Every structure is written in C-alpha cells, then in structure tokens.
Amino acid sequence: MSNQTAPISLAVTADPRYARLVRMTAANIAMLSQMSVDKVEDVRMAAEEAFIYACSAVPETALTISFEVDESHVSLSFALASDEFPSAADGEPVAYADLILSAVCDAYDKTTSPATLNLYLKADV
C-alpha cells in the first residue's frame, strides 16, 4: 500500500445490533496498515466503543463512519445525526465510552455541527 490515505465509509443506523459489523469492518481496515495484531485489536475496540457511544447518544438515527488508512495510521470519524452531544453523567455508557476512547486512541476528540467522534490510532511497526 502506498502512504496515501484510502477513504472508506460505512453508513448504518445507530443500533447496537450493528456493533459486530462496525468492529469487524474497522479491524479489516486496520489490517491494511502496518499495525500489529495488538494495535488492530485496539482499533476494533475503539470502533466498538465509539459505535456504542453513538447508539446511546442518538439511538436509531443515521450514522456515517468514515475510515482513513495508510501504512502509518487508521483514523475513524463517527458523524452523528445531531449537532451536539448529550451531556453524560458518571456511569452512563457515554461517560464510559469517553474513558475507553481516551485510553485506547492516540488522539480522540469530539466536534459539533454535526456531532462527530474523531479517533486516530498510529501503527506500531
């Protein structure tokens, strides 16, 4: 693979029944980079947590997940069907997802208008 970014997107409904589809797609895309098996697992976990976040933030709405991959990284953007994120109380799925995503990703942030979760994971080899 060249070091150029290859854009890929997946459109699904924010429904937990599609979590497996999202995490398996993310893992397969991560295999296109130079990531170790452990880092591919991190991408899979991050994708699942971000998807669960989206499902609890804006359930049953349209969700577009954009992936970019090259030899050195994978980035994921989860565009929610909302302009802002709901506030989260401790113990809610959204608060838990924030904690996991901050720990697993090399970079993680949220933007508004539209509400988007942005994840970035570097390859380790």
CA dihedral 68, 59, 86, 54 (to 10 degrees): -20
Q: Distance between CA atoms of 20 and 115, rounded to whole angstroms?
A: 23
- pLDDT given for residue 98 in this prediction: 84
Question: pLDDT tens digits, the chain, 125 residues: what are they?
Answer: 455 666 799 999 999 999 999 999 999 999 999 899 999 999 999 999 999 999 988 899 999 999 999 999 999 999 999 898 877 654 566 778 888 999 999 999 999 999 999 999 999 87
Give the domains, in start order, of the chain with CATH numbers.
7-122 (3.30.565.10)
- Kindly state the DSSP code that residue 81 receives in the 8-state scheme: S
| 5-42: burial string, b at 16+ Cβ within 10 Å, e else | eeebebebebeeebbeebbebbbebbeebebeeebbeb
- pLDDT given for residue 85 in this prediction: 83
- pLDDT given for residue 7 in this prediction: 75
Q: Residue 74 corresponds to which amino acid? A: V
